[in-house]
Chains A and B, each alone.
Chain A
């Protein structure tokens, strides 16, 4: 190794380290949800839903925003997580944390197993394969009613968190805080991973698989890993849904779940980790607001927003916003060195 190469390596790792630091705005933003939960306990549930869907959208962001893998069936992993947590609880294993761990491990495993299918072919094939897998799983859950409860849904009781905090209606604040902590821990982990050399190489693969290959990055292994991680995150989101609502039904695999999460991520903007969280807040907020006014026709306005967003050009919207402030988290390849 020449002195130049090791110099360069040191510079890169310094750069990565610097980008790992939390900025004041980020810290302030993360303090907001627990504060809101404590100040407005009656809306704890709305916040809980936003947090969980935010985690689900974050999971899609890992696959799509960072790995470049589009999906129309991301609900498959949400469903695996939810049913795992639900089935465990209904069979007596009702510790929430244990359920969460097993659920996200299983979903992650499912992600690793199905990842090779998703790597093949073009975007269209990916959309169809992911959609097909989620539909197959939904049908599987429907068929095996002896364990999943079939179309009646599966209801169960979840134990107390650490044996102390109930997650039911009276414990709705605890439930929202539980979701918040899980989201925060997983987010911090994702942030750390995406700013590591692994994360950088995944993004390099997305930008150009050929070039990354030439640099010696094993493209397929990187994508499989990130897809597995994304699946585990979705599984955790599913487990949170199951544990904080104490019911799972076939609807969890439904197409609309996969479509909604895609919308959330796009509204918030993919590729910088916060997009899913912002998108989930906007989506759930808008839905709550509009469907309060017109319960039958709220979808129309969401659709209109989407059509407008795509027609104006997502990139242009993002670029306009980026002009306000430089994005420190999304670094384009050319900008890596200061």
Chain B
């Protein structure tokens, strides 16, 4: 056989495995695990930029410790996410894990967080039940019920009573469908049809034709960010915008990352979400300006702000524990924390460890020639309705 190949690969693996893992008591390593390649890569990029921006603007020192951020690519595969999480804890001595682009990726790490007593800060995945899977999970992004339920209330207030829902067929989509419909029907509205579209490269034409045949007053949509542009184009192309069907959605559809390139087809779409790059506050102005300076050509979206707030949460918790990095102490410190984020006032619900935040009703409009989600109504301090309903 080939001793040379054997020996070289064995030496390579041995060197890799023995790679020195330094442990410095004054360094707090934070593992940021994200899909940096593949379909979800744009989530990873935004999150990485958001987390880095926080360190850049607030310095890497907090409570006498130096924060070191280690970014890992999990390619969107949960077994890799889990392996990386374990590696980061066992080998790099990570004191907190952050990121997690999709629900299964966040769930994969939950048992590790529980066993190792390391906080898992979820800054992307949005299925409601995630935080119930481990007492060490805290979330700074949002939950879909949180975004979808207020949309139903807004419809009822604005005399919309007949709606068709169209969601991507996976966990968050089903969450969005359920919470929109439940609240809407309880308030006297009527959901004529519930359509689910396949998650991978769908052609919306046949589904939109069904919508056209149903002729509802409004179409409620949830799609993972990235499919929004295509959807809106086809919506307009089919003439649905002119036939009096209002397009309403969660903010994923008019994601700030993509919105600028979407064109006039997106104008007038009403969405409910927790963050718009156009949010009018001094905190947000400073955030957007710094972000665009550090990442030319990119506009921060809700993923970037969630990662930014994830770092903010960790910094504040470390200050509260005076630099102690023990997982139980950190989680205890995080519970009930509140601060002003670029998206507005936020807090961590001490009971559910999920984020409490304002949900804004927005409309796509031109601001200085570029498309933005312009906020026109606020529903303050929304808790995740899924967990609230269980108590």
Contact = CB atoms under 8 A, between A and B. Distances in A.
- A/B contact in complex, CB under 8 angstroms: yes
Nearest to A327: B1
B391 interface: no
Nearest to B108: A247
B13 A50 contact: yes
A138 to B, nearest CB: 9
A13 interface: no
For A32, A45, A289, which residue has the most chain B Cβ atoms within 10 angstroms? A45
B18 A298 contact: no
A95 interface: no
Interface residues of A, number: 62
Nearest to B170: A151
A112 interface: no
Contacts of A206: none
B110 interface: yes
A90 B2 CA distance: 44
Contacts, number: 165
B133 A155 contact: yes
A325 B111 contact: no
B133 A142 contact: no
Contacts of B78: 153, 245, 247-249, 251
Nearest to B125: A152
B4 interface: yes
A240 to B, nearest CB: 10
B13 A151 contact: no
A251 B90 contact: no
Contact of A245 (B90, B108, B169, B171): B108
Given A42-B91, A43-B91, A296-B45, A150 B2 contact: no
B9 interface: yes
Interface of A: 25, 29, 32, 36, 40-50, 139, 142, 150-153, 155, 157, 168-170, 172, 241, 245-252, 254, 256-257, 268-269, 272, 274, 278, 281-282, 285, 288-289, 291-292, 295-296, 298-299, 321-322, 324-325, 327-329
Interface of B: 1-6, 9-10, 12-14, 16-18, 21, 34, 36-38, 41, 44-45, 48, 71-73, 75-80, 82-83, 86-87, 89-91, 103-104, 107-108, 110-112, 115-116, 127, 133, 169-171, 198-199
4 A-B pairs with the lowest CB-CB distances in the bound complex, closest first: A153-B104, A151-B170, A152-B171, A249-B104
